[in-house]
Every structure is written in C-alpha cells, then in structure tokens.
Structure 1
Amino acid sequence: MKSNILKVPGATLYYEVRGSGPLLLLIPGGPADAGVFTDLAEHLANHYMVVSYDPRGNSRSAWSGEPEEQQLDLHGDDAAHLIKAFGAEQAHVFGTSGGAQIALNLAARYPERVLTVVAHEPPCLQLLSDPKKALADTEEVYNTYLREGAGAAMQQFLSLSGMKEEMVEGSVDAQPNAEQRETFARISRNLDYFLAHGLKPLSFYEPDVEKLRKGSARIILGVGESSQGQLVYRTTVALAEKLDSEPVNFPGNHGGYGTDPKRFADILHHILQKTAMEKI
C-alpha cells in the first residue's frame, strides 16, 4: 500500500493506493475513513488500482481553514479531483452509507468520469414514501448532540437506524489488530465533526434521479443481506424503485465490507466485470 496527499481547493485529501488495473475508488461513509476498507481493498487489488481515501474533514484529510458544513457537491468535486489525479478518463466507484451519497452525486454531476457506481445502503431519507419520521429522528439526534455530546447522540443514532444490535453483535468478534484499533481511534475522533457538520447534509441529500437515469454511468444499488428492517435498507430500496432496478445483496449488514471482505469483494468484482464486458 502506498499513501499520499492530494491538494484540492480548500483542503488536502489523504488517500491510499493498492494494486494495478482499472481505477476503483472507494468512498467511506459518515465519520469513517480509508482504514475501514483495508481488507476489502486487499482482496480487490489483484484486479484493480484501488484508491480509498478519507473524505474532507475526516481523519487525515484536513480543511485548509475552519471546518465547514459538509456539502455533497464539494464531496463530489473531491472525488472527481481524485479520479483526474490518476490520469484516468473514467473510474469504477464504490461508496457506502454517506459515501454512497457522495458516489451518486459524483455520477450525476460528472458522468464522464464514472463507469460504474455501486452505492451500498445510501441514507437518502428524502426518497422514502413518507420521510417525516426519519427526518425528525435525524433532527433529534443532532439536537441530542448539541445538548449531551457525541456519545449520547451516537447511541440514539444507532438505535433509531436499527443498527444498535448490529454494533453489539460486532463487539463479540475476534480482537482487533493494531491497525484496526488505530482506525477505530481515528473514527472516534471524527464523531464530533460528523454530528455537527455531516449527519444532516449526508442524510438529507436527495440524489438527482433524473440525471442518474439519463447519465452514462451504470448505477447499482446494494443492500446487506442482514439489513432488512433497517432504515438504510428501506432508503436503498426506495432509490432502486425510482431507478427501475433491483438492489444487489451483499454479505452482512451495513458494515458487511468489513465483516466478510472476501465475499463482498467477489460480488463487487462480478458487478464491475459485467460493466467492463458491456463496454466492449
């Protein structure tokens, strides 16, 4: 793995590169950074030049000045800058959670840069048939953060999204190694920034369905095979219906790329191979 920094307007982006071949950009969600994709990227590096990065404001990607409210257009611009920096005309893109929202923004605004977007469980609340409760719950999490801090707000967020049990189940897995502990520590330090400046913009963003339908990029929606009943499962299905597509099942739940990276990588590779064959 090689790492580097890319200067973009108003910030510097930390990124990691593995393997060689067609460019595959991995975008993490919420407060996460490139570290959550370590195992997934290793499994994909035999087929692709895999680039994973810390979104602006997270971990090692710093604002040039004071942190600002997250803007999906700015995140989309950053992703486009990364693709351009590698000299690639187009890239495959995988994004999960808030990173899936960024990937969808990129595809809508820079279709010439994108071959395939695989959007894994994007939290596009506005697309629910009745989004009022989900939007109100998100506002309440934000208000809890202002009143009681990050710990209480994250507990509420996990409970309302249906992911609290998922986190408890994950805690009984094997002990994390040193690299995983470092990743967890970095993400923990990102929670204040995420709750103050990212939770609402990432959750309230509404993908441009018309541009995605008319654009040249192939859009695939992914759900976890264990995510049924969770809020992000429902938002993904809602977007898939608007795009007249069927979501693809991936292993595990919202964090399946980390809990079963080999099988997750195999399914992702199969999807991207299909795009490559269609382009021939």
Structure 2
Amino acid sequence: MKRVGVILGISALLLLITVSASASTWLTYRDTVDVASGTVDISLTVWHNQTTTETYRNISLPCQISELDSSLTKFAIKANGGDITYNLDVNGVTIKSSQTVTDGNWDNTTLAEMISAGVSDSDTYLNFTFSVSADTNIIEIDVYGDDCALTSSWISNHVTVKEKDVTEPEVGTSSTSAFWTVNDSITVTNLGLGYNLYDVNLTLSYPAHKISTPVSYLVWTSIPADGSGTKYVQYQKYAPYVYKVKDESEGNSHKVIVYIKTRELLTNCV
C-alpha cells in the first residue's frame, strides 16, 4: 500500500493541469492481470530421409517432456530399399547402438522407452543425434501432447501483459467509494520453437484491488511459429482514496494536508 501526502492548494492546481497520458499509452508498471499458469497442445512431425552422416535435430519445448504423450511421441526409422543399421542418442543418452532394421520394416522408439533408457522427463527439449549405415532410410520424428503444462520460465519469457486506462482513476472519499476501468492486453509470442502451438490456454489472476473478474482464462486456437497473438481483458479496480485530512493552520497561515492511499503506482488521477 502506497501513501501520498498532498498539500491541498498544490493538489488542486495539479489536478487542473493533469494530462491523461495513460488513457492512450500501454503501461507495463501497473498491477495488471497475471498469468498464473497455462497449457498447450503440440502436434509436430519432422522428416529426415536418406540420412547417412551423423545428424542432429533439436526440438525445444514450452513444457517438460513428461507432459508429452509418451506413446505418440517417438523416433521412427524405416529401411527403404535395403537393410540398415543405425545409432540414436536422445538428450545425450544412448538409445540405440548399431540397431539393425531389415528392408521394408520400421523400428520405433517411443518417448516412454527414451525415458526408461535414462532421458530426464523434466527436460524441456528433445535433442536427437542419429546416423545410418546407408541412405536407404526414411526417418520420422513425432512430438505430440494435449494440455501440456507450460513451464513458468516459458510463460515469463513469452507472455507480456500491458495496461491502458479506459477511464481515469478518481480519488474517492473511502476505500471503496471510487473506481476506474482498465484494459489489459495479454500477448503470447511463439519465438524460438520453429513450429505452431495449438489451443494455448492461459489461466489469469487479478490484482487484489480488482472489483470484477470478467474471465478466468484466455484461449488462442493457434499461434504460428515466429508469430504472436493478443487478447484483451477489461475490468474495474478500486481507485486511490483520501484516508486522512490534517489541518495545520495557524493564525493567518492556512495549511491543510490531505493524505491519499493508492494501491498501486499511478501517475495520473482526478
């Protein structure tokens, strides 16, 4: 709780010359809605064909790999035109060494098998390193997950909240007598992954001095790779208020101090 002492005469003058910059400017220092948590759907298939030299494929994730579907997420290789042998490491763990695949057949390794082999289920990436004895191969990497919990670090780095005033804060005579309306923008940026995100669902929490909570979550059907999406939430908050008036007048000298409490940093109010 912030307290402001104001000499009445000066306060009146300031209110007359106030310019409402916050009504047209998006602000980042306000007590806005907060993204407490979120989920996402991932559906990604990557192909590598006719691979012989050692190949690396890193897939960064907005979640831990424990959130992925452990059966549908897999590394699959097919011998296509001749028998092959291959090696596979995942996140530095050896999964297959000189594994033979006969012509026309697939060899699949699920995420569950990778974890059983020693891959940490708290990792937030899948780094595949593989090599094949001949170029008669088809390689498919599938990454799938429904309602995967976003990590707090991903939310912190990829979700931005800003606020703009819809109405100006008015100083009230009591803690609940005045309010103002704000509009918060919530932007999710999908940078660095290289694939689309689906059904991004963010759970919201509101500042303690809110009056209304219009929605508890927001959903983006999809956010393209290297793209972003923005949604808005408009709600009301309790405004600053006068909590004490002190008269320090003596003789012909008149001085009244008005103390105002504000629940967050404000640069403009009436």
TM-score, length of structure 1 as denominator length: 0.21
Q: Which has the higher helix share?
A: 1
The structure, 1 or 2, with the larger RCO (C-alpha pairs under 8 Å, 6+ apart) is 2
Larger Rg: 2
Q: Which has the higher strand share?
A: 2
